Structure 1
């Protein structure tokens, strides 16, 4: 496959995923106290929002890449 076609497909898929999933959630574990055999860990849940404009821009850029790859062929 041509590289521009692959890039276009990846951008469109990533954009659709970004529009469907509005945020990414992950859990961060960090050690608070470490005194010999005593160890205390804290788990903190973090949320990273994905702006809708980023998903839309990715889809538009991917469609542009697909159009340019098809036009060159």
Structure 2
């Protein structure tokens, strides 16, 4: 695979991770499961990552693009 494309992908993912530091999703969980009686509830789960991780990916992508060999 072309290293320049990998570098560009790292730049895009890094920029997105800096802008959005996480996301929330809803998951349906069973609370009670007693034979024919079932009770479930929607629970919100959050996924977060540190903004510096996006910065590391962004800088890494820039380095990969800058050091990739030019294709003719």
Aligned match of 2:53 = 54
CA distance in 2, matches of 1:50, 1:34: 34
CA distance in 2, matches of 1:3, 1:31: 46
**TM-score w.r.t. length of structure 2:** 0.84
Instruction: State which drifts further: 46-55 or 7-16.
Output: 46-55
CA distance in 1, matches of 2:31, 2:25: 19
More helix by share: 1
**TM-score w.r.t. length of structure 1:** 0.83
How many equivalent residue pairs? Answer: 70
Over 6 Å off, 4+ runs:
none
Question: Structure 1: where are the runs of 5+ without partners?
Answer: none
Report the secondary structure of 1:44's partner residue.
strand
Aligned match of 1:20 = 19
Over the aligned positions, Cα root-mean-square deviation in angstroms equals 1.4
Question: Structure 2: where are the runs of 5+ without partners?
Answer: none
Following superposition, the deviation at residue 35 of structure 1 comes to 2.7
CA distance in 2, matches of 1:60, 1:36: 55
